[in-house]
Amino acid sequence: MHHNNVSYPVEVPLILGHEFSGIIAKTGSRVEKFKTGDRVTAETHAEYCGKCLLCRTNDYRLCRDRKGYGFGVDGAYAEYVKVPERILHRVPDNVSLEEAALTEPLCVAYNVVVEKMKVKPGDVAVVIGPGPIGILACKMLELSGASEIIVIGTGGDEKRLEMAGKYGATMIINSDNTDPVPIVLEKNEGYGADVVVDAAGPAATLKLSLELVRPSGIINKVAWGPEPVDFSLDKLISKAVTLQGSFSHTWDIWEKCLKLMEEGQVNLADLITHRLSLEDWEKGFELVESREGIKVVLKPNIGK
Ligand SMILES: [Zn+2]
Ligand SMILES: [Zn+2]
């Protein structure tokens, strides 16, 4: 979004920022369930029609009229952001606002592992790409009872791979010096992993996913990759693999994730590697792009 080279239109010029939390400064006249002073976080779906087939079947995230913060409408890199009541969520008293600002990527991971893949206790899982979504997918896999959680990264991912270990990964592979294929293909009687999460995105990782997944297994592709796929998809057929796309989250997932945070089943604070004032937003992007940072929290009030 920062470089405006994502696979969907960014309505430039606009204010970035779609993962946030805050304290309600003012409510509109028709707001009933929230009041000034409430600690809240919000879904990213700033606008949707509420009337179409998808909106009426709890799939409003995919409504053709959906507009998200930071790419469809002005986002949260600001002192104030305007949020409709229907997408607000209360932050539990024992959860910090910093952690609450990271609810969104946890919801993405919940959607992948629980809603889409329906991971079972005992499953052998692979996560490709140890970014925030990959790391949180490891945590959701652990909570779902997966017995083996193998995370794969490349050179430069060292810090992120280490973090994935803290978040439930049982085996860490740097593919620059270790080929993951023979390791994963030892699992399940030589058939491979039950489920594979592609949290990296390029064509090469989808190709790798098809190698690693067992016949009748599931691949969930949650990471974007704008370039065309450059290999045969025949393995999808010969292995009868289910290939899923995964996008965003819904109100019920947000409530579950906030419950996980309230009960201490997920600790998001460890993911925050840097805290910067909003003025230093560009440095935050540099930290993440260099993979030096994992999650950077921007605070509009620092330095005032
Ligand atoms: Zn709609
Ligand atoms: Zn996000």
Angle at the Cα of 59 from the Cα atoms of 143 and 89, rounded to 5 degrees: 60
Q: Model-level pTM greater than 0.95?
A: yes
SS3 215: strand
- Please give the pLDDT value at position 302: 52
DSSP letters spanning 78-142: SS-----GGGEEEPPTTS-HHHHTTHHHHHHHHIIIIIIS---TT-EEEEE--SHHHHHHHHHHH
Break the chain into its structural domains and give their ranges. 21-104+250-299, 106-245
Cβ neighbors of 57 (< 8 A, separation 6 or more) are none
Q: How many angstroms separate the alpha carbon of residue 131 from the centre of ligand 2?
A: 11
106-245: which CATH topology? Rossmann fold (3.40.50)
Q: Give the chain's residues under pLDDT 70.
A: 302-304
pLDDT of residue 7: 82
Question: What is the CATH architecture of 21-104+250-299?
Answer: Alpha-Beta Complex (3.90)
How many residues in total does the chain contain? 304
52 Cα–ligand 1 center, Å: 4
pLDDT computed for residue 301 by the predictor? 72
Q: What is the pLDDT of residue 2?
A: 84
pLDDT digits (tens, 9 = 90+) for 162-197: 999 999 999 999 999 999 999 999 999 999 999 999
The answer to whether the beta carbons of residues 55 and 64 sit under 8 Å apart is no
CA of residue 253 to ligand 1 center, whole Å: 19
Q: How far is the CA of 99 from the centre of ligand 1 (A)?
A: 30
SS3 content of the chain, % helix, strand, coil (to 5): 30, 20, 45
For ligand 1, the distance from its centroid to the CA atom of residue 87, given in whole angstroms, is 15
Q: Note the ligand closest to the C-alpha atom of 47.
A: 1
- The rounded distance, in Å, linking the Cα atoms of 209 and 9 is 28
* Ligand 1 centroid to residue 48 C-alpha, Å: 5
Q: Which ligand is nearest to the CA of 111?
A: 2
CB within 8 Å of 207: residues ≥ 6 apart: 231
What is the 43 CA–ligand 1 centroid distance (Å)? Answer: 16
Sheet holding 193-198, edge to edge: 171-174, 148-153, 124-128, 193-198, 213-221, 242-245
- Which pLDDT does position 179 carry in this prediction? 98
- pLDDT tens, position by position, 237-269: 999 999 999 999 999 999 999 999 999 999 999
Q: Give ion ligand 2 contacts, CB < 5 A.
A: 19, 104
Measured in Å, residue 192 CA sits from the centre of ligand 2 at 30
